[in-house]
Structure 1
Amino acid sequence: MDEDLLLLMENSYLKWKLQYMKFGTHDLNKGREEFGEFYVLYADLRTYPDKFFEYTRMSLHTFDYILNKISPCLVKIDTNFRKSIKPEEKLLITIRYLSTGMSFTALSHSFRMGVSTISTLVHETCMAIWNELVGIHMPPPTELQFKMVAEDYYRLWNFPNCIGSLDGKHCRIKKQKNSGSLDFNYKKFYSIVLQGVADAKRKFIAIEVGGRGKQSDGGTFHASVLRHLIEENKFNIPKPEKLPHSNIIAPYVLVADEAYSLKNYLLRPFPRSTLNVQRRLFNRRLSTARQTIECAYGILSTKWRILQKSIETSRENACLIIKTTCLLHNIILDLDGDADPDCHTWATAEFNHNNMQNVMRNSDRNPTRQAKIIRDKFMNYFYEHTY
């Protein structure tokens, strides 16, 4: 290439770059370090733990723990044109977005940043939280961990050999380009399905995000990675064992509502039209055990209010946001436990009046004879061991 032409191109790019750096930051945002919410509030909030919790929906200890884990992923080098955004500011903005559901535009005004900057750093921070902490707070379950979960279910909820409660919820999203009606659900809005398994203490053992809104719970589960792992014996479920104080050998099972099909590893209630004394008792026990997943979703939607609104991002980013809230749910339970006030507010959560809607029900699709026998084993056990 001609040397003069190359020099002209380089000079043109430099002029464009300088012009962008000069005019790319809005005048309102140039006062970020003086008037931005992070610089005005953050240091003071840290001196008042109760106010810090109100602002972030987590304790100062938990915030600092997360910050310490993800800071190396968020550090950027200052340039001659612009100072980098501190990891603690990125985390605070992200937590504020998740806990309030504020729009990127509203956050950009509060923190004195561009809308695209807010959007980018929220995605970057959610990705860092997921990558750095999922292996610690939502690791793939082991056989030993499942046995510990089963012990908790028996001790806390009087349901033996139970390794988790399964359910799905719709999370509202904006209409995506070229998605057609795949994400349009029976409640007449666009959504992604979050399907989770909770342990006896309301933590998520496993989650799967991305199911199409038009699918039923059973359809979502049928298409899920979780089902394939279980049916291919890759989910580390322990081998069948005797139910407590009996000679009845039964498999370890998940419990779910009538939206799911009865399987050897998945128990659902008996249909109401077929109830007798024994079946009614079984349904009550199963319903009690199922409360853990409803508790988990109640706490989740109460604390992370982004789930009560339409997530105005791409489908891929919406999936990441939903996964991050579930992981944060586990982190807070691990670090703060019942000391977290939101853990006691789940009973007031409005499942059917916010945007985390139940997934469409479906009928039981021809359960196998063996699946019916397994459910009857639990039914007979409960009837024989009622005190």
Structure 2
Amino acid sequence: MDIETFAAVAVVLASAFISQNKKEKRTWSRRWLLRKKRGCYSQLLRELADEDALSYKNWLRMDQDSFNGLVTLLEPSLQRQDTVMREAIPVGERLAITLRYLATGHTFKALEYSFRVSRHSISKIVIETCEKLYNVLQPNYLKVLSTIEEWNNIATRFEEKWNFPHCIGALDGKHISIQPPPNSGSHYFNYKGFNSIVLLALADADLKFTYIDVGTNGRVSDGGGVWAKCGLSQALEQNKLNIPPPKELPGRQLPVPFAIVADEAFGLKPWLMRPYPRTLLDKPKQIFNYRLSRARRCVENVFGVLANRFRVFRKSITLEPSKTIIITKAACVLHNYLRTGTRTRYTYTPLSLVDHEDTETSQVICGTWREEPQCLQPIAASSDRHPSVLAKEVREEFCSYFNANGAVSWQDNSIQ
């Protein structure tokens, strides 16, 4: 074979080899995603707003005015510019995707089919939007209380609504189920037998968060350990929150401090009241436990509503802990946002959803959230069994008050 023939054969073989191994050129996105029409999500919202307001509220957990108000707040930080490659996803659509994730707990893959946005983009959108939501809402809806007047306002509401004076909040903690990160061992494994991070919260008499601490690993599962690590505990210990000074309960003479109400998960402190141990209780102590439990229902209902309206908490969150913290903080501040407005409060939490009392008998009617399986599991009881003498004296003073000057007509029937 001469050189020219050999060269020709080589060229043909090389061309065939290259053609055989040449990969099909890929587009930057799948074709069915590219066929999405801009504003299609807005069309759905318009149809729901015009034709089915109830479905609109159920779809986004809020009405049209609340949604549009959030869009306006988020636009400065979430607005993106169109490029020659693609059109930017509008702020409203970013918010709608995030709210649907919080409301349903659907996977990013499932949301991809609903919105025609890739799950990779959705994973970024949800976390970024949650972070911005918390940043823009927190200063007005979950700010740190720091004045005597603010604490007095909370105590007044507890006395008016729940007949518990000097109460500055109801405290509780819940485990949020997560998928543990790789190589984390038992760091997040709690006493309930699953992996979690802890959401510790203080609630007011109107079922709103006044303080949250989220992120403690589930292995620190008892209330004493979680409480000791949070900033609120340290600030109370060091008297940095401008809480009103101790004063007498109505009709009494012994000054007592303003206090938080909690369950057995937390240790007894002069400013943190827990029930008497539930063995061999005399009637006065039973009355105290009933009155404390009645006020503490506030935080129980806050957690119940949160899991009912934001069903992302009803299953294990398959994101790394740092992202789960961002999502949780956004849900908490959204809860306060929706509980603040007179109109949105009852849209977001209908009367039947939360515990309420019969106006004639003052008997508690349980909210419908209690009929669902409880997905947010409680933290373990505190191992602190040695409260101070002062803490015991403060509890005794509250107990005496509830059985004398502060007695209510129905309390005897409520402990039978």
Provide the TM-score with structure 1 as the length reference: 0.91
Query: Which residue in 1 is equivalent to 2:153?
Result: 148
Aligned-residue Cα RMSD (Å) equals 2.0
Letter paired with 1:71: E
What does residue range 168-317 of structure 1 map to in structure 2 within 5 Å? Answer: 168-214=173-219, 215-317=221-323
Letter in 1 for 2:214: V
Rounded to whole Å, the distance in 2 between the matches of 1:296 and 1:155 is 19
| Conservation of the 8 A alpha-carbon contact between 1:351 and 1:357 | no
Q: Compute the displacement of 1:355 (Å).
A: 2.5
- The equivalent residue for 1:9 is none
| Structure 1 residue 248: Cα displacement | 3.0
Runs of 4+, deviation exceeding 4 Å: none
Match of 2:46 among 43, 48, 66: 43
Q: Distance in 2 between matches of 1:274 and 1:182?
A: 38
| Bigger mean CA offset, 142-151 vs 39-48 | 39-48
Q: 1:105 aligns with which of 91, 100, 109?
A: 109
Question: Between Structure 1 and Structure 2, which shows a larger proportion of helix residues?
Answer: 1
> Is the contact between residue 273 and residue 395 of structure 2 (CA under 8 Å) also seen in structure 1?
yes
Deviation at 1:217, TM superposition (A): 1.8
| Matching residue within 129, 137, 142 for 1:138 | 142
Counterpart amino acid of residue 334 in structure 2: L
Q: Give yes or no for the alignment of 1:32 onto 2:39.
A: no
- 1:125 aligns with one of 129, 132, 138: 129
Q: State the alpha-carbon separation in 1 of the partners of residues 113 and 202 from structure 2.
A: 38
Q: Any conservation in 2 of the 1:260–1:268 contact (CA below 8 Å)?
A: yes
What per-residue deviation string (whole Å, max 9, x for no partner) do you get for residues 137-193 of structure 1? 011113211101100111110100000000001111111123221211122111111
Tell me by how many angstroms 1:39 deviates. Answer: 4.8
CA–CA distance in structure 1, aligned partners of residues 78 and 316 of structure 2: 27
* Alpha-carbon separation, structure 2, partners of 1:365 and 1:117: 51
After TM superposition, the structure 1 stretch with the greater mean CA deviation from structure 2, 246-255 or 326-335, is: 246-255
Deviation at 1:41, TM superposition (A): 1.2
Please give the secondary structure, in 1, of the residue aligned with 2:188.
coil
Q: Which residue of 2 aligns with 1:3?
A: none
What residue identity is the alignment partner of 2:121? Answer: T
Matched, 1:96 2:116: no
Residue number in structure 2 paired with 1:115:
119
Question: 1:244 offset after TM fit, Å?
Answer: 1.9
The partner residue of 1:361 within 371, 381, 393 is 381
| Contact 1:258-1:364 at 8 Å conserved across structures | no
Give, in angstroms, the shift of residue 351 of structure 1.
8.4
Query: What are the Cα deviations for residues 49-77 of structure 1, in whole angstroms up to 9, with x where unaligned?
Result: 22210211111121111111111111011
Q: 1:339 matched to which residue of 2?
A: 346
Conserved 8 A contact 2:36-2:116: yes
2:382 alignment partner AA: N
> Given that residues 208 and 336 in structure 2 are in contact (C-alpha distance below 8 angstroms), is that contact kept between their aligned partners in structure 1?
yes
Q: Which amino acid aligns with 2:76?
A: P
Report the identity percentage. 35
Alpha-carbon deviation of 1:354? 3.7
Residue by residue over 1:270-329, the C-alpha shift from the partner in whole angstroms, topping out at 9 and shown as x without a partner, is 001241121111101000000000111111111000011111111101001011111000
The equivalent residue for 1:5 is none
- The answer to which of 229-238 and 141-150 deviates more is 229-238
Which 10-residue stretch deviates more, 342-351 or 175-184?
342-351
Alignment partner for residue 164 of structure 2, among 156, 159, 167?
159
Point out where structure 2 has 5 or more consecutive residues left out of the alignment.
1-22, 355-366, 409-416
SS of corresponding position for 1:167: strand
Instruction: Give the C-alpha shift of residue 209 in structure 1.
Output: 0.4
Which range is displaced more, 103-112 or 209-218? Answer: 209-218
8 A Cα contact 2:63 2:344, kept in partner: no
2:66 matched to which residue of 1?
Answer: 62
Offset of 1:348 from its aligned partner? 2.3
Q: How far apart in 2 are the matches of 1:149 and 1:41?
A: 41
Deviation (angstroms), 1:353: 2.7
Query: Aligned residue pairs: how many?
Result: 368
- Structure 1: distance between partners of 2:348 and 2:126: 25
